[in-house]
Chain A
């Protein structure tokens, strides 16, 4: 280290510098306080040993000035003193960092220099880390800023500004764990989605991005809200880590039928206020949050509620109820309910809830995102200008096309092709309205091919609950052991001038087939009931025709529209 000795006493200086040089440090000397400051500026020493009483400028004044010049850098100053009263020694620690009494004890001197050397190093490390952190933070804020802009474009491109919607979204971080989406349906009506991801900030927002894409994309293409939910659930299930999910309240609002269909998973009760504010009904969540269950287990059952003109639906994330004040009390359901049970005009409720929550929380730190939305039943014509026109992917959709899709053993084991096949069919506008029906047909025929054709499972097992479980464990076991096999799916669509069309779907498996009664059956009859294991009667009812070929390992269904 480089050490500055400031002492007007030449013999003391000589002795001290000798001791310090012997300890392996570089020494510079100054004869008074003024020269000490000059030396500090020129040589920037690591540690300064300074006599208290010096001509020109005394040690304490010089120390003050040097400390000021050093700014954020740590320059330890050790006062050299032959004063021995406690107050004088204590004074040394006001303008300096330590003192050393004369006559010098070289062992203590060495220990002090070493200690301050360590402190200097620690300080330098701290400063460097602080600078790195500041730099990283700056960088992160910039990135978040850009990401937030992208997120807002994706997540808030809907019709939240419609005149029948009031909402509040309060971001905890730059990003929000709560998501609020609203979109007008091409066929009229509106889809509204309130989501609350576990966690908040960036990790929560990442899940919101694909979710918003699916919601807006599928709504614009005319998908049923149930399909949108299924797709979002599937997506979240596949991308979110275990333990991460999205609580949601989802509404399909029909202005013409004056009703809503609701799906709620893991969110607090929603309130439906009707009869000009006189009747309050709470709607309870009955489902698990999105992203928890597999597609097979997922339940898309909705509850229907009628809404007269002017009726209002209030939904919120648990952030409202769990909002805490400075004393860590929660806002709670009771406070919320008491606002609704008060004699406020329906119009004033939203603002009142908002104000009371904000007032309650005050300056204390929010520990969750607080989101609330009010949805009012109005005449659709009132909304005319509230939404920018959604960009349509394809306006008319494909009309004449065909495809063949073959799945080998590995794909059969690990991949569910149904969403992909559905997606292709749903590109055709006329088929969209039959989404549910088509899904049933494709799902049945595909699982027939896989479970009965290839895996040779006996469907009669499924007639008892115990057998049902056995059936599925057997299915998994056989699938795991599957060595060879394939399923070929062929789809073909033709339309006559967009007014009518024929969609045909063939599923062929590598199995041994089965003994089907007729090659072509337009209408199912009693004798076919024994094949109910393959769900054939149901498919019959949905299709224009159903035909088996070869040994029964290939089936073609035809669906006509309109």
Chain B
């Protein structure tokens, strides 16, 4: 899988350097926090709950940005913006894109830790 199309490579390696032996823990915590977000996004869409969509995508954006998964953070930001202005048409496709991007990010991250 192409790491560079899903991550800011430089930022990711700096993250590894900063976290030292706590890097695996960070990855684990990120995944543990993010898995429920995918489900939560789908539930919010079913209920047409824009506030929830906005809050979850905002928080998902921040966490993904910090883990240097910038394309994922960008998708989250787009979702946050759409939810903010109550435009629902493009949201289902954005959530699908986020889910697929997150699966890629997740498998790359898991490949980095023992």
Q: Pick out which of these stretches binds chain B: A6-14, A71-79, A278-286.
A: A6-14
**Residues 92-124 of A contacting B (Cβ, < 8 Å):** 102-104, 106
**Residues 1-30 of A contacting B (Cβ, < 8 Å):** 8-12, 14-15, 18-19, 22
- Name the residue among A9, A22, A104, A106 with the largest chain B CB count within 10 angstroms: A9
User: A10, A103, A106: which contacts B29 (Cβ < 8 A)?
Assistant: A10
> How many interface residues does A have (CB within 8 Å)?
16
User: A9, A14, A19: which contacts B59 (Cβ < 8 A)?
Assistant: A9
Asked if A172 is an interface residue, CB under 8 A from chain B, the answer is no
Using known A-B contacts A82-B65, A103-B11, A104-B66, determine if residue A53 contacts B18 with beta carbons closer than 8 Å: no
> How many interface residues does B have (CB within 8 Å)?
23
Q: With the chains together, A115 CA to B86 CA distance in Å?
A: 41
Q: With the chains together, A189 CA to B49 CA distance in Å?
A: 103
Using known A-B contacts A53-B58, A103-B68, determine if residue A11 contacts B63 with beta carbons closer than 8 Å: yes
- Return the CB mask of B47-75 against A: 1 if under 8 Å, else 0: 00000000100110111011110000100
**Residues 15-56 of B contacting A (Cβ, < 8 Å):** 15, 18-20, 22, 25-26, 29-30, 32-33, 55
| Chain A, interface SS category | helix
Q: With the chains together, A553 CA to B66 CA distance in Å?
A: 109
Contact between chains at B15 and A12 (CB < 8 Å): no
User: B11, B29, B58: which contacts A11 (Cβ < 8 A)?
Assistant: B29
Contact between chains at B62 and A12 (CB < 8 Å): yes
Contact between chains at B62 and A9 (CB < 8 Å): yes
Contact between chains at B61 and A82 (CB < 8 Å): yes
Contact between chains at B32 and A10 (CB < 8 Å): yes
Contact between chains at B18 and A82 (CB < 8 Å): no
Report A-chain residues with C-beta under 8 Å of the C-beta of B67: 11, 15
Contact between chains at B18 and A11 (CB < 8 Å): no
Contact between chains at A14 and B18 (CB < 8 Å): no
Contact between chains at A102 and B62 (CB < 8 Å): yes
Report A-chain residues with C-beta under 8 Å of the C-beta of B59: 8-9, 53
Contact between chains at B19 and A18 (CB < 8 Å): yes
Q: With the chains together, A11 CA to B59 CA distance in Å?
A: 11
Q: With the chains together, A102 CA to B55 CA distance in Å?
A: 16
Q: With the chains together, A11 CA to B11 CA distance in Å?
A: 16
Report B-chain residues with C-beta under 8 Å of the C-beta of A8: 59
Q: With the chains together, A19 CA to B15 CA distance in Å?
A: 10
| Chain B, interface SS category | helix
- Return the CB mask of A296-322 against B: 1 if under 8 Å, else 0: 000000000000000000000000000
Contact between chains at B65 and A15 (CB < 8 Å): no
Using known A-B contacts A15-B26, A103-B68, determine if residue A22 contacts B61 with beta carbons closer than 8 Å: no
Contact between chains at A14 and B26 (CB < 8 Å): yes
Closest to B61 in A: A82
Contact between chains at A9 and B33 (CB < 8 Å): yes
Q: With the chains together, A9 CA to B62 CA distance in Å?
A: 9
Report A-chain residues with C-beta under 8 Å of the C-beta of B68: 103
CB distance from B20 to the nearest CB of A (A): 8
Contact between chains at A11 and B66 (CB < 8 Å): yes
Report A-chain residues with C-beta under 8 Å of the C-beta of B32: 10
Contact between chains at B33 and A22 (CB < 8 Å): no
Q: With the chains together, A19 CA to B20 CA distance in Å?
A: 10
Report B-chain residues with C-beta under 8 Å of the C-beta of A18: 18-20, 22, 26
Report A-chain residues with C-beta under 8 Å of the C-beta of B30: 11
User: A15, A53, A82, A102: which contacts B15 (Cβ < 8 A)?
Assistant: A15
Contact between chains at B33 and A15 (CB < 8 Å): no
Contact between chains at B61 and A14 (CB < 8 Å): no
CB distance from A88 to the nearest CB of B (A): 11
Closest to A17 in B: B22
Contact between chains at B19 and A15 (CB < 8 Å): yes
Q: With the chains together, A10 CA to B73 CA distance in Å?
A: 17
Contact between chains at B65 and A14 (CB < 8 Å): no
Q: With the chains together, A277 CA to B73 CA distance in Å?
A: 97
Using known A-B contacts A22-B18, A53-B59, A106-B18, determine if residue A11 contacts B65 with beta carbons closer than 8 Å: no
Using known A-B contacts A19-B18, A53-B59, determine if residue A102 contacts B29 with beta carbons closer than 8 Å: no
CB distance from B84 to the nearest CB of A (A): 11
Report B-chain residues with C-beta under 8 Å of the C-beta of A11: 26, 29-30, 33, 63, 66-67
User: A15, A22, A53: which contacts B66 (Cβ < 8 A)?
Assistant: A15
Using known A-B contacts A15-B15, A22-B18, A103-B11, determine if residue A10 contacts B33 with beta carbons closer than 8 Å: yes
Report B-chain residues with C-beta under 8 Å of the C-beta of A104: 66
Closest to A84 in B: B77
CB distance from A92 to the nearest CB of B (A): 15
Using known A-B contacts A11-B33, A53-B55, A103-B68, determine if residue A82 contacts B62 with beta carbons closer than 8 Å: yes
Contact between chains at B63 and A9 (CB < 8 Å): yes
Report A-chain residues with C-beta under 8 Å of the C-beta of B66: 11-12, 15, 102-104
Q: With the chains together, A280 CA to B55 CA distance in Å?
A: 91
Closest to A19 in B: B18
Q: With the chains together, A8 CA to B22 CA distance in Å?
A: 19
Q: With the chains together, A10 CA to B36 CA distance in Å?
A: 13
Q: With the chains together, A106 CA to B14 CA distance in Å?
A: 10
Report A-chain residues with C-beta under 8 Å of the C-beta of B61: 82
Q: With the chains together, A22 CA to B15 CA distance in Å?
A: 13
Contact between chains at A14 and B58 (CB < 8 Å): no
Closest to B60 in A: A9
Q: Name A's B-contacting residues (CB within 8 A).
A: 8-12, 14-15, 18-19, 22, 53, 82, 102-104, 106
* Contacts A18-B18, A103-B11 known; 15 new A-B pairs at CB < 8 A: A9-B33, A9-B59, A10-B33, A11-B29, A11-B66, A12-B66, A14-B25, A15-B26, A18-B20, A22-B18, A53-B55, A82-B62, A82-B65, A102-B62, A103-B73
Closest 3 A/B residue pairs (Cβ): A11-B30, A103-B65, A82-B62
What are 26 A-B pairs with beta-carbon distances under 8 A?
A9-B33, A9-B63, A10-B29, A10-B32, A10-B33, A11-B29, A11-B33, A11-B66, A11-B67, A12-B66, A14-B29, A15-B26, A15-B66, A18-B18, A18-B19, A18-B20, A19-B18, A53-B58, A82-B65, A102-B65, A103-B11, A103-B62, A103-B66, A103-B68, A103-B73, A106-B18
